[in-house]
Amino acid sequence: MTIGTNSDFKTHLESRGLSPHTIRAFTSDVRGFETFLAGGQPTEQAAEAFLANEKRRGLSNKTCARKRTSLLAYARFLGKPWNLPSIRPEQKLPEALSEVEAKAVLEAARHTQNGERDRLMVELMMRAGLRSAELLELSASDISEEGPIMWISVVQGKGSKERRIPVVSKSLQTSLRRYIKGMSSSDPLFPMKSRNLRKLVARIGREAGLSKQLHPHMLRHTSATMYLRKGANLESVRKTLGHESLSTTQKYLALTDEDVARDLAKAAW
């Protein structure tokens, strides 16, 4: 059967409730497998050979792992009990800014056409670890103060769980108070589309002289990395960023070459 001309496999995937994106990926992967077969029979051995060939072509483990999942779905459709070897995706370390780069970005954000707003947005992602979606959903009512502590409340995940983030920087507290002064409780703090935020952050990164392209999630990565380097408790960082698992936060503990060099320099003898 060739799924390019037969919709049975696609119908099977739709019956499983898979998303249109997943269905497109699965059918594309299996179409590539059938091209590889060149008229041969779809067997478990042929599937293993196909995956090995994809790896030789230079595809990443992540892509090959997805193709393996696609082939297993195809095998289920064909009624064949294939047992393909698992493929572990590469573990990429989160990319973050150094302290020098972070300060340069904050300074560059101050000098945009709307410097007060733009620096505040950058600081909230970098110091409070906000996701871009969380940042753009903030309204004035999400900022509260209890004694000396200012809090940001965000809603995350399918269960709409609330996360409260303490604003520990006094200067950031002052900037937030000044920015929301006069706003009604329902006013969005940053009425901006996510794609425009990405463009703005990338432009600020260029103005800061970064050699890499800056994106909002890199600012969030920087928040986690900086707090851990400065000695913050792992669990505190996990709760601040809203990670479900501590293992997700632990990725930020990986030492960079710069960290190793600095550490050894302290113990030079």
Q: Which of 67, 220, 221, 238 is catalytic?
A: 220
> Catalytic: 55?
no
CA-nearest of 38, 14, 37, 43 to 26 is 14
Find the catalytic residue in 21, 158, 181, 193: 158
Degrees, nearest 5: CA angle 218-222-223 = 120
Which of 66, 68, 127, 252 is labelled catalytic? 252
Among residues 72, 105, 56, 137, which one has the least CA distance to residue 211?
105
- The token pair at 104 is 């340069």
Catalytic option among 117, 198, 217, 239 = 217
Determine whether 131 is an active site residue.
yes
Q: Does 243 participate in catalysis according to the annotation?
A: yes
Q: Known catalytic residue: 221? A: no
Q: Which of 10, 31, 131, 215 is catalytic?
A: 131
Residue 146 structure tokens: 């209890």
Which of 117, 229, 243, 251 is labelled catalytic? 243
Q: Which residues are catalytic, by number?
A: 131, 158, 217, 220, 243, 252
